[in-house]
Structure 1
Amino acid sequence: MDGFNWEEYLNFSKEANDTSSGNPVDKVVPLCLKSNVIQFGAAFLPAFYYTNFLLSLVGNGLVLCIIYKYEKLTTVTNIFLLNLVISDLIFAFSLPFWAVYHKSEWIFGSGLCKLVGSCYSIGFNSSILFLTLLTFDRYLAVVHAISAAQSRKKKYAFASSATVWVLSILASIKDIVFYNVMNGQNGRLCEMTGYTQSTLTKWELIGYYQQFLFFFLVPLVMVLYCYARITIRIMSTRMVEKCRAVKLIFVIVFTFFICWTPYNVVILLKAIKTSFGDPTNCSEALDYALYITRNFAYLYCCISPVFYTFLGKKFQRHFLRLLAKRIPCLKINILLSEPSSKSASVRSPTQITGHSRD
């Protein structure tokens, strides 16, 4: 699992290197038990993982229900939203397994070790790419509305989605290949194993830099650029609610930045430490920081479809309509909140920033 490297804690000079495969045994890895960090993870991480799993299940399930009942996959936005929901559910599928793992040991066998490890990586990576794709699509729809109208068709949406899935799967190949079950001093572990320590360290570094550059820095630059251009475009119009639209953009960018930046900064620091640091240094600061910041990134990953869809007034009305079937008294409020034919013809800023229209 990304960031949870038991080889830093235990001496795997024999266990982590599969001599039967013909690979030479590397030098002895320094013993870093870090029992305090392991106890911290066992005490707090399972609760975070179960919470994120439940939030993702409820939130993404709600978005799926609304798309199924009230929307159709005829718009680019809805196709991207559906793929984002699928990616988040794939990622959330892995969380209960990691929760059990952190609490005790890996009890699910070698096959599930590879499957869960790859689902975690595919879901996590594709989620951030689909969020970036949604932002870029809104940029095209708002800033280049006329020129992009012909290209923003279903074929474009399906081709873009397929590209995201291919990139995410390619980025997770190392997890499919290297993840396996091994015997450690604290029980059975599901980690990158079966090769020499130098090979595992090299691929660990590739994973760190891949995460920071391609699944954080590039998406962050694109999100900042796209929303900056959208904001300029909105401010140049005569929208009555332009200030509210700008506030919504600020909330989106701020939430994206505050949830993803700390985790990826820690990832970069761990990459630098692995590359240039003293291997005998058993400092626990980065391990604690990784545990804490990673959960903010996980939380954003799990609730992002809800966060993005319910910024739009159309999805808010769909949600109220869904509740009205269970709570009849809400029907009056829904009728009052329905836009008149006059107001419906005016495109609101929430429709621009909240992805409520194609």
Structure 2
Amino acid sequence: MVDTNWSDFESFFNETYSEETYEGSIVTAEVILCKKADVIRFSAAFLPAFYYINFLLSLLGNGLVLCIIYKFEKLSTVTNIFLLNLVISDLIFASSLPFWAVYHKSEWIFGKNLCKFVGSCYSVGFNSSILFLTLMTFDRYLAVVHSIAAAQSRRMAYAFGSSAAVWVVSIVASIKDIVLYDVMKTEDGLLCEMTGYNQTFLTKWELIGYYQQFFLFFMVPLIIVLYCYVRITIRIMYTRLMEKCRAVKLIFIIVFTFFICWTPYNVVILLKAIKTYFKVQNDCSNALDYALYVTRNFAYLYCCISPVFYTFLGKKFQSHFLKLLSKRIPCLKIDAMWSTQSSKNTSFRSPNTDF
């Protein structure tokens, strides 16, 4: 994973070694261990509940999106293909959360193979989710700003090829979790962490994970999202679209939510990378551990609800949702019919700006 799921127990990540090996002799300096009892109690008390809530929200929300795609949309457009892949990535990520909830509550009880498998599912799902959100933003930019050229390039081959590229990048970025994660036994119980190699080697890969998360899965997506939505906003403001104010407000909501949910977590990741790189000694502060747990759950929540968030901002999917409800609640049929007509009118006026 990009960051450890049980950093409190990872005393070996908070140890400082000064070890030189010569032929026939080993010189070892004092090893400093940090006490993390308070952080352990905090994680055991609060994190499992957050993980279970995120898991249930993901199942409910993504299941609803899948149902709407199946009943009303099908895979007939590039946007729906990207949306389906986003739903799959979020479900893969969410499937790991119950395991981590049990882990934080007690210890790792699921064995070595599941340690590697769950760790890789977490990483692949988490990474691919942010990449698919970025890809959907870029595709929306093409459809609005370069609508004529995009009509020729936005084919099914483009959709499947782009989706395959995202999965490849996400899986490659997660290989280290499959290789390095294993079950280790300590006085605190069984842990599922990066282990089995010397501390210097593990620290280097920990740094790679931090930099990978911050630059590849945050800075690059953030720059692309900001650029695309600025260009979309400029394009909309110069059109005669009757609902341009609504479209601009929705763009602001999307960008603001993305920034609020992802920035604090990645700032903490960067601070942990700096601390690890400069090998800060005698620093046993728990501040970054608490900050990581709190900010990470905002990022988790965004991953779990992002398909619902992006889907139901559009009037077309709101109309589909009302149709779905009207089958169970007859009094909603009139609202569903009105919403369907309104969606058609909006699409007729500007088919590329239904946010």
Would you call these one fold, judging by a TM-score over 0.5? yes
Whole-angstrom distance in 1 between the partners of 2:343 and 2:94: 41
1:206-264 per-position Cα deviation (integer Å, ceiling 9, x unaligned): 00000000000000000000000000000000111111110000000000000000000
The 1:340/1:10 distance shift into structure 2, 3 A limit, reads closer
SS of residue matched to 1:188? strand
Is the alpha carbon distance of 1:321 and 1:28 closer, same or farther for their aligned partners in structure 2, counting shifts above 3 Å? farther
Q: 2:234 aligns with which of 232, 235, 238?
A: 232
- 1:260-339 aligned within 5 A: 260-339=262-341
Instruction: Answer whether contact 1:11 1:31 (CA < 8 A) is retained.
Output: no
Between 98-107 and 324-333, the greater mean CA deviation after superposition? 324-333
Give the partner amino acid of 2:64: L
Q: What amino acid is the match of 2:353?
A: I
**Aligned to 2:213, which of 192, 204, 211?**
211
Aligned-pair CA distance for 1:343 = 2.5
- Counting only pairs closer than 5 Å after superposition, residues 90-129 of structure 1 correspond to structure 2 as 90-129=92-131
Distance 1:154 1:93 in 2: 29
Q: 1:137 to 1:12 in 2, by over 3 A?
A: closer
1:11 to partner: Cα distance: 8.6
Q: 1:85 aligns with which of 80, 84, 87?
A: 87
Structure-1 separation of matches of 2:345 and 2:174: 47
Structure 2: how far apart are the matches of 1:304 and 1:132?
12
SS class of match (1:149): helix
Does the alignment pair 1:70 with 2:84?
no
Q: Deviations over 1:52-76 (max 9, x none)?
A: 0000000000000000111121210
CA separation in 2, counterparts of 1:343 and 1:185? 66
User: Does 2:191 match 1:189?
Assistant: yes
Task: Return the letter of the residue paired with 1:32.
Answer: C
1:20 is matched with none
Give SS of 2:191's match.
Answer: strand
AA aligned opposite 1:101 = Y
Q: Report the CA distance between 1:337 and its aligned residue.
A: 2.5
Task: Give the aligned partner of residue 146 of structure 1.
Answer: 148
> How far apart are the structure 2 equivalents of 1:104 and 1:198?
28
Amino acid corresponding to residue 65 of structure 1 in structure 2: C
Question: Between the two proteins, what is the percent identity of the paired residues?
Answer: 76
Distance in 1 (CA, whole Å) between partners of 2:311 and 2:349 is: 17
Secondary structure of 1:189's counterpart equals: strand
Q: Partner of 1:161 in structure 2?
A: 163
| Per-residue Cα deviation, 1:169-208 (whole angstroms, up to 9, x for no partner) | 0000000000000001210000000000100000000000
Shift of 1:31: 1.1
Separation in structure 2 between the aligned mates of residue 342 and residue 107 of structure 1, nearest angstrom: 53
Cα RMSD (Å): 2.0
Task: Report the 3-state secondary structure (helix = DSSP H, G, I; strand = E; otherwise coil) of the residue aligned with 2:348.
Answer: coil
TM-score, normalization: structure 1? Answer: 0.92
Q: Measure the CA separation in 2 of the matches of 1:295 and 1:271.
A: 19
Can you give the 5+ residue segments of structure 1 that lack an aligned partner in the other structure? 14-23
Cα pair 1:235 1:242 within 8 Å, conserved: yes
Q: Secondary structure at the match of 2:182?
A: strand
Q: Number of aligned pairs? A: 343
Matched letter for residue 104 of structure 2: H
Amino acid at match of 2:181: Y
Give the partner amino acid of 1:240. M
Aligned to 2:353: 352
Q: Determine the C-alpha separation between the residues in 1 that align with 2:175 and 2:12.
A: 25
Secondary structure at the counterpart of residue 105 of structure 1: coil
- How much has 1:353 moved relative to structure 2? 5.0
- Aligned pair in 2 of structure 1 residues 26, 54: CA closer, same or farther (>3 Å)? farther
Aligned to 1:222: 224
- Contact 2:145–2:235 at 8 Å: present in 1 too? yes
How far the C-alpha of 1:34 sits from its partner, in A, is: 1.1
In 1, the alpha carbon distance for the partners of 2:13 and 2:234 equals 56
Aligned-partner SS, 1:306: helix
Residues 54-103 of structure 1: per-residue CA shift (max 9 Å, x gap): 00000000000000111121210000000000000000000000000000
Residues 270-304 of structure 1 deviation map (CA, whole Å, 9 limit, x = unaligned): 00000114232111110000000000000000000
For 2:261 and 2:347, how far apart are their aligned partners in 1?
36
Structure 1 CA distance for aligned equivalents of residues 196 and 44 of structure 2: 25
Within the candidate set 149, 174, 179, 2:176 is matched to 174
Q: Which amino acid aligns with 1:111?
A: N
Q: Is the 8 A contact 2:137 2:225 kept in 1?
A: yes
Letter in 2 for 1:61: G
Which blocks of at least 5 consecutive residues in structure 2 are unaligned? Answer: 16-25
Task: Return the letter of the residue paired with 1:87.
Answer: S
| Counterparts in 2 of 1:317 and 1:120: CA distance versus 1, 3 Å | same
Distance change in 2, residues 1:29/1:217 (3 Å):
farther
Per-residue deviation at 1:32?
1.1
Query: For 1:205, what is the secondary structure of its paired residue?
Result: helix
